[in-house]
Amino acid sequence: MIPYLQQRMAEWKRPGQAAQGTPAGPAPAAVAQLIVEAWSAGAARASWRVAGKTPERAEMLDLLLKLGEAPLVERFVREVVAAEYDGSENKTLAAAAEFLGPQKTAELFCALLGKNMRLFHGAGAELLCNLVSGQGRKPAPEWLAALRELAAAAVRALPEIAAPSSPYLDPDWERRQKAKPVDADLVANLLGAARRLNAAALNETAAAAFAARPEVFPPDTVLTPALAMLRRKCGEVLAAEPAFSRLWQHAAGFLLARSELPPAEPTDWAQPADIECRCADCRELEAFARNPNERVHRFRVRQDRRQHLHGTIEGRGLDMNHETERLGSPQTLVCTKTRRTFENRCKQYTEDIASLKTLAAIEAGLPPELQATIRRVHEAVARAKK
C-alpha cells in the first residue's frame, strides 16, 4: 500500500508545474486517505502481519507530511501512531509537530504520551526532549505552553510504569516485548526537558515519583547515573535545585542503608532455613543448614525423595549445591554448602561503592542540610579503600 502511494506521488503533478494532463488513477491524497482508514480500522495491520511485513508508521507519516494533508496527519497520529507507538516514529513526529503547530501538537501528543508512557517510557521522554531541543533556548510563548503540557502529561504517567516482569503476564504482552527497561536516559531526559522549560514544580513532582518507587526506578542503577548525566550537562548550579538535591539524598540514603559498611564475612557454615515442609527429609535438611560446623551432608534416599529435596533447596534459595552420587541403590544426594549469598553481597557492595563514588563526585553545591549525608558518603568510600 505504501509503495503504491509513493508511486502515485511521484507520478502526480506538483502545483505550479506546466499542465501536461492529469495522470491516470486516483490522486495521492485519496490513496493516502484509504490507507489511513484501513490502518486505523486494523485491516492494514492484519494484512501486513499475514504477509510477514512490518508496517512503517514513520514512513507513512513522512509521506502524509509531504502531501501536506493536515487532517490525515492528525488522524494518523491520533488513531494509528498513538495506538502502536514504540519510539521508532520520534524523528518524524518531531517534524509533524512543526507542521501541526503548538496547539494541535499539545492535543495529539499529550494523548499519545498518556497512552504509551507505561510501556514506552524512554521513547516518550526522548520525544519530549527532542521537541524541547527543537524549539531552542527560548521557545515562543505558544510553544512553551504546549511543551509544558507535554511534560506534565509525561510526568502524570510515571506512576503507571510497572516494575520489570515477564511480558507474557501483561495484557499488552505483544507490545511489551518491544519495550525497553527503565534506564537513566528516561530520568535525565524528562528532568532535563522540564528544567529547560523552567518548570521547577513539575521537576519536583517527577523527582517525588522517581523516589517513591525504588523498585521501578532503582537508585543505584538508574537514578545515580541519571544525576551524573544531568550534572555533566548543567554544571554545579544544578545541585542547589530541589529536584536534584532530593534525588541525590534519596540515592545516597538507599546506598548507605545497604552498603555503608562492608559485608561481614561468615564465621561458620550456619545459614537460615525456615522450611515449611515438616517431612523427615526436610527436617534433616533444615538441621543440616543450621549446623555451624557441617558443610557436607549425604541423603541416601530413593529418587522421589531426592527430587523433593531438590525442590526444597532451590525453592528456599539455600546456599548449597546438590548432586546425585550414582552409586548403590538407593543413590545418594550430596549437599555441599556454599558462600553464594556472601559472594553476591560482596559483589553488590562493590557496585554500591562505585555508585557512592559517583554521588561524591557530584555533591558540590548541595544545600547545607545534606552535609551529614555527604560526610557519610565520603566516609563509606574511604572505608572501602582500606
CA–CA dist 215, 332 (Å, integer) = 41
Residue 371 lies in a domain: no
Number of domains into which the chain is organized: 2
Residue 383 lies in a domain: no
Co-location of 101 and 227 in the same domain: yes
- State the sign of the Cα–Cα–Cα–Cα dihedral 304, 306, 311, 316: positive
Antiparallel, parallel or unpaired: β 296-300 and 320-325: unpaired
Residue 119 lies in a domain: yes
Comparing 169 with 35, the larger pLDDT belongs to 35
Q: For residues 328-342, give the mean pLDDT.
A: 95
Q: For residues 62-82, give the mean pLDDT.
A: 94
Q: What does the radius of gyration of the chain's CA atoms come to, in whole angstroms? A: 29
SS3 of the chain: helix, strand, coil, percent, to 5 = 65, 5, 30
> Percentage of the chain surpassing pLDDT 90?
77
Q: For residues 337-347, give the mean pLDDT.
A: 96
Domain membership of residue 249 as a residue range? 2-14+23-257
pTM of structure = 0.86
Domain C-terminal end among 194, 225, 257: 257
- What is the phi/psi pair of residue 86, to 5°? -140, 5
Residue 184 near residue 229, CB atoms below 8 Å: yes
Answer whether residue 163 shows pLDDT above 50. Answer: yes
Element (H, E) at 323: strand 320-325
User: What is the band of 10 on the pLDDT scale with cuts at 50, 70, 90?
Assistant: confident
Read off the pLDDT of residues 271-307 as tens digits, 9 standing for 90 and up. 999 999 999 999 999 999 999 999 999 999 999 999 9
Mean pLDDT, the chain, rounded, equals: 90
Q: Is 58 exposed, middle or buried (0-12, 13-18, 19+ CB in 10 A)?
A: middle
Res 22: pLDDT? 60
Residue 112 near residue 83, CB atoms below 8 Å: no
Answer whether residue 314 shows pLDDT above 90. Answer: yes
Task: Specify the amino acid at residue 195.
Answer: R
Residue 322 lies in a domain: yes
Res 332: pLDDT? 96
Distances (CA, A) of 286 to 298, 305, 317: 13, 15, 12
Co-location of 230 and 297 in the same domain: no
Q: Which of 109, 133, 113, 136 is nearest to 123 (CA)?
A: 113
Co-location of 197 and 332 in the same domain: no
Q: Is 234 exposed, middle or buried (0-12, 13-18, 19+ CB in 10 A)?
A: middle
Co-location of 100 and 236 in the same domain: yes
Read off the pLDDT of residues 30-56 as tens digits, 9 standing for 90 and up. 888 988 998 888 745 544 444 445 558
User: What is the band of 354 on the pLDDT scale with cuts at 50, 70, 90?
Assistant: very high
